Every structure is written in C-alpha cells, then in structure tokens.
Amino acid sequence: MSRPNVRGGYAATIAIVAAASLSCLAKPAYAADLPLYKAPPAMMPAIYSWSGFYLGGQVGYAWGRDHTYETLTSTGAFTGFQWRYNTDGVVGGLFAGANYQVGATVFGLEADIEAAGNKGGFYDPPGAGDTRIKWQGSLRGRLGFAADRALFYATGGLAYADISHTYTEVFTPVSETTRDVRVGWTAGVGIDYAVTQNLLARVEYRYTDYSSYTYVSLTAFPGLTGRQSPELHTLRLGLGYKF
C-alpha cells in the first residue's frame, strides 16, 4: 500500500497561502495608485443686476374724479353750485428710465408719456359741462428693493396733462371750452420682474392730482368763475427692454 505524498500537499498549501497574501497586499497598493476624485465646485446662480437703461410700453385704465365749483367773478362768493363726477378711460404710451443698484437698494429716474381717453361731465340745466384728458405724462424718481429678478418700488414726482373743460348753456345753446396743460403731482407703487436678462414685465398703481385751478366764463356764463380739481387713480401693465 503506497504512502500519500505529504511533501506535495504541504507545497500546494504553502503556494495557495502565498498567493492569497500577495493578492491582499496588491489591492491596497492598487487603490493607492488611483487619483483622488474631486467633485466640481457648486455653481452659484448669478444675482440679477437692475443697473442700466430701459425702454418700454404700457397700457392701463384710469378712474378719476373732477369737481366743478362755481363762484361769482366779481366777489368770489360761492353761488351754491358744485358738481362731482367721474372721468374714466383707457391710457397707454411709452416709458423710459435708468436704474442704479447698490446692494439690494435700487435708485431710479423715469419719464413717461401717454395718450388718454378720460372723459366725464355733468348735466344740470341750465348748465352742462364735461372734462377731457387728451394726453398726460410724468417725470418721477424711483426707490426700490431688489429680490434678485423682482424689484419692488415706490415712485413719485411731477405730473402734467392736456386737460380741457367745456361748459354749455343748454337752452341757448352757447358753449365755451378752456384748454391748457395742467401741472400736478403723482405717486404710487409697482413691481418690475425680469422675465429674461433683457425683458421686463411691470404692474404699477399711481395716484395723480392735477391740483385746483380756475377759469372765468366769458360767453356761456358771463360773470361766473369755475374751479376744477381733477384727480386720477391708474393701474398699468407694461413691458420693457433693459439695455
């Protein structure tokens, strides 16, 4: 009966152990040779800048009030006649301006010019009257707070308008019209939003007061003086382009 080859078994065992040891040693050496992976730095979104010039168009609706107050021309005494009435209509035109941003604060200057369809009046025989606004404009400062692409602002300044008043003696009928560019003030608030880098959208509300002024009737109601006090509330939508 033959004896097993003990030396051959020992040799095979030693070879397996040696191979396993070499394999274990080789793995960390291979990993150590690999380059370390570095994640790309996170890209922070660019903060929108409101500094620069812009130009745009706007359309809106104005609901207003006017007040006719009548006095004797010779003495200034109140005759007892007065009338309050609405002067509503659509407005629309162009605006242009410039902004300068410091941190989150935005300073600006803006002008606009609009065609206007505001009209209204009264009928109280023997008299009748109406008010019409043909066009209007403003020159205003702006102060805003920027929240990236949204700009919340307040605005105020000079307002002016082409306003006419017609007075009619209804039984004659004799009428007369007085027309002039009236000056007053305007103030309001709004939101501009940068839809793209250059395209701006806007919603704005403004109150405008053209102050009180008088006219002396020469033909329709001689001897009488009227005082007018037109004012407007206007809501506008606009689109602009920032250069």
Q: Does residue 43 lie within any of the structural domains? A: no
Q: Which domain holds residue 150?
A: 52-242
Residue linked to tokens 């065992």? 13
Q: What is the pLDDT of residues 10-31, one digit of tens each?
A: 444 444 444 444 444 444 444 4
| 21 within domain boundaries | no
Cis peptide leading into residue 35 (ω within 30°): no
Q: Is 75 contained in some domain?
A: yes
Contact between 143 and 177 (Cβ < 8 Å) = no
Residue 26 belongs to a domain: no
Q: Is residue 2 part of a domain?
A: no
CB 236 within 8 A of CB 60: yes
pLDDT of 154 higher than 90: yes
Let me know if 192 is exposed, middle or buried by CB neighbors in 10 A (0-12, 13-18, 19+).
buried
If one counts the domains in the chain, the total is 1
Structure tokens at 78: 């109140």
Looking at residue 35, what DSSP letter applies?
Answer: P
pLDDT digits 0-9 by tens, 161-196: 999 999 999 999 899 999 999 999 999 999 999 999
Q: What is the CATH number of the domain that holds 71?
A: 2.40.128.90
Global confidence as pTM? 0.80
- Alpha-carbon span 1 to 7, nearest angstrom: 18
pLDDT, tens only, 78-130: 999 999 999 999 999 999 999 999 999 999 999 999 999 999 999 999 999 99
What per-residue confidence (pLDDT) applies to 7? Answer: 46
Asked if the structure places residue 36 within a domain, the reply is: no
Q: How confident is the model at residue 159 (pLDDT cuts 50, 70, 90)?
A: very high
